[in-house]
Structure 1
Amino acid sequence: MRRGTGRKVEKRERPVGFFDSGVGGLSVLCHAVQEMPGENFVYYGDSAHAPYGTKSEEEIKELSLQCGEFLFQKGVKAIVMACNTATSAAVIRMREKYRIPVISIEPAVKPASLCGNSGKIIVMATPATIAGPRYQGLVDRVGCRERLIDLPCGGLVELLEGGDFENPAIAKYLREKFAGIAGQEIGAIVMGCTHYSFVSGTIYRIAREMFSGECRIFDGMYGMVRQLKKILREEGLDNPGPGGKVRVYSSSDGEVYRRILQAHGIEAELGEA
């Protein structure tokens, strides 16, 4: 019995693995570190192949499974798919492949539709996420299709990958993207890509300039982190502590990742991918 308990404790001390097509999933990681300070984390960003959102479903699936395997080989106790595009293409296969919890994200369409605000709901996401059957199925289940304005934002991830979230080109991009629907009453805006979370304040500000309505921001990362905490607790995998170690790997420039985390008060070690 002691040996079994020891193995369980050892498993609880393993890190939680996160991956994304690039730096976007760091927005989710930052929130997870804040909410779960006793946990250790490993993050893999596949910047060399970003963006995923303009690739075919098969390409996205293959790249996502490679990311998952990288984390699994690092001994993680759970895998967090901090990428809406990867979730849409590969979450079913990922859960079939691994016997550890796989936590996925989806656009916060349901809470946006239930918030009580009048007006349309803008869903900002990559072209692959919006075109994917998982998102379309979500919209059908929620039953709010007539209120939605699907806004595929090809090119925005590329602007955000460098980590300069104050780049004037971002505001220019958003104004041009919103121009075709300007003047409408917008009750909610859904962040359908974790990259966009880093500039949700800019999105809100420009939306209030160009639309009427509350333009309330909804982001699925908060529900995702709550789900992660719940699953770790239910599976007996939550770390009793101490924790707080964050290690970051990237298929490209890891310094960008470390700089973003430092700006959010998180110190991270860089590993070689």
Structure 2
Amino acid sequence: MRIAFFDSGIGGITVLHEAMKQLPHEDFLYFADTLHVPYGTKSKEEVFTFVKKCVDTISKEDVKALVIACNTATSIAIAELRKTYEMPIIGMEPAVKPALEMNRSSGKRVLVFATPLTLKQSKYRDLVSRIDDMGMVDSLPLPELVDFCEQLIVESQQIIDYFHTQLIPFDLSLYGTVVLGCTHYPFYRGVLKKILPSHIQIVDGSAGTVNRLIQILTHRDQLFGRGDGDLKFMCSNNDTAYIEKMEKALKMLRNVGE
């Protein structure tokens, strides 16, 4: 049986990559909703419909767990998905809590990069209001970054200029941590390390999500460890060119050691 990962596009490959590092003897399935990417600029109702249809397809495969490797899809659909399917479903949330903990001693602020739809959802607002008792978290929507990532435009002057423009309103000396609150965004970790002040740490939710996946499968006695890291790619429009793009994106992550 495989561990499945779902995202609107190639972003969730950052989470898949983390899982493949931690669980080298499991087999995997990755499903991208290529018919509807990106999710972050669409309505809540549209995204829920898209996610439900894709998860229906995934559930027909031989999978033992599903990771919703998309912050937007998690915030909108995960509660209903867990009511509908028997397999364990693990979601994503922006790593705001660990970011705040990293900054406790310094008193520095946290800046969350995410899609507009994630930032609009009550799940995100409730998370921040629950743990940010000192009002130290700021949020920045970066919808264009998903489009850049889907084109595999990662290290270029265009991206550097984009970040510089988006960060103009922020005094970065006040911040200690940047949270990558969309699974597409870790593709830009290398660029951000170059353009952000050296004191700013960059975090995302991939490791925490995979740790949760391991806990759940261990509890269910389903960490078999008899696979060989076999990976099956699927997408909602059965586009072989996009599958090749996903393979290339995974190779990019492996090459940079992220």
TM-score, L = length of structure 1: 0.87
C-alpha separation in 1, matches of 2:87 and 2:113:
31
CA root-mean-square deviation: 1.6
Residue 31 of structure 1 is matched in structure 2 by: 18
Structure with larger RCO (C-alpha < 8 A, sep 6+): 2
Code of the residue aligned with 2:165 in structure 1: it is E
Deviation string, structure 1 residues 157-181 (Cα, Å, up to 9, x no partner) = 0011122321332111111110111
Matched, 1:148 2:144: no
C-alpha separation in 1, matches of 2:90 and 2:163:
30
Deviation string, structure 1 residues 208-242 (Cα, Å, up to 9, x no partner) = 1xxxx721111111100011111111111112313
C-alpha separation in 1, matches of 2:98 and 2:12:
21
Q: 2:43 aligns with which of 56, 59, 78?
A: 56
Matched, 1:91 2:59: no
Residue aligned with 2:135, SS:
helix
Structure 2 unaligned runs (5+)?
none
Aligned length: 249
Q: 1:240 aligns with which of 189, 205, 225?
A: 225
Matched, 1:135 2:120: no
**1:202–1:263: structure 2 CA closer, same or farther, 3 Å change rule?**
closer
Q: Using the TM superposition, give the Cα deviation of residue 145 of structure 1 relative to its aligned residue in structure 2, in angstroms.
A: 6.2
Residue aligned with 1:236, SS:
coil
C-alpha separation in 1, matches of 2:228 and 2:32:
22
Q: Using the TM superposition, give the Cα deviation of residue 38 of structure 1 relative to its aligned residue in structure 2, in angstroms.
A: 1.0
C-alpha separation in 1, matches of 2:128 and 2:46:
24
Residue 103 of structure 1 is matched in structure 2 by: 90
Code of the residue aligned with 1:255 in structure 2: it is E
Code of the residue aligned with 2:220 in structure 1: it is E
Code of the residue aligned with 1:218 in structure 2: it is V
Code of the residue aligned with 1:31 in structure 2: it is E
C-alpha separation in 1, matches of 2:5 and 2:227:
20
TM-score, L = length of structure 2: 0.92
Q: Using the TM superposition, give the Cα deviation of residue 67 of structure 1 relative to its aligned residue in structure 2, in angstroms.
A: 1.9
Residue 227 of structure 1 is matched in structure 2 by: 212
Code of the residue aligned with 2:208 in structure 1: it is G
Q: Using the TM superposition, give the Cα deviation of residue 47 of structure 1 relative to its aligned residue in structure 2, in angstroms.
A: 2.6
Q: Using the TM superposition, give the Cα deviation of residue 183 of structure 1 relative to its aligned residue in structure 2, in angstroms.
A: 4.6
Residue 154 of structure 2 is matched in structure 1 by: 165
Deviation string, structure 1 residues 93-146 (Cα, Å, up to 9, x no partner) = 110110110000100000111113432110000000011010011111113461
Q: Give runs of ≥4 in structure 1 deviating > 4 Å.
A: none
Code of the residue aligned with 1:81 in structure 2: it is I
C-alpha separation in 2, matches of 1:256 and 1:144:
42
Q: 1:199 aligns with which of 188, 191, 204?
A: 188
Code of the residue aligned with 1:154 in structure 2: it is P
Residue aligned with 2:66, SS:
strand
C-alpha separation in 2, matches of 1:102 and 1:77:
9
Residue 164 of structure 2 is matched in structure 1 by: 175
Q: Is the 8 A contact 2:178 2:201 kept in 1?
A: yes
C-alpha separation in 2, matches of 1:220 and 1:110:
10
Deviation string, structure 1 residues 43-91 (Cα, Å, up to 9, x no partner) = 0111331110011111111111122112111121111000000000000
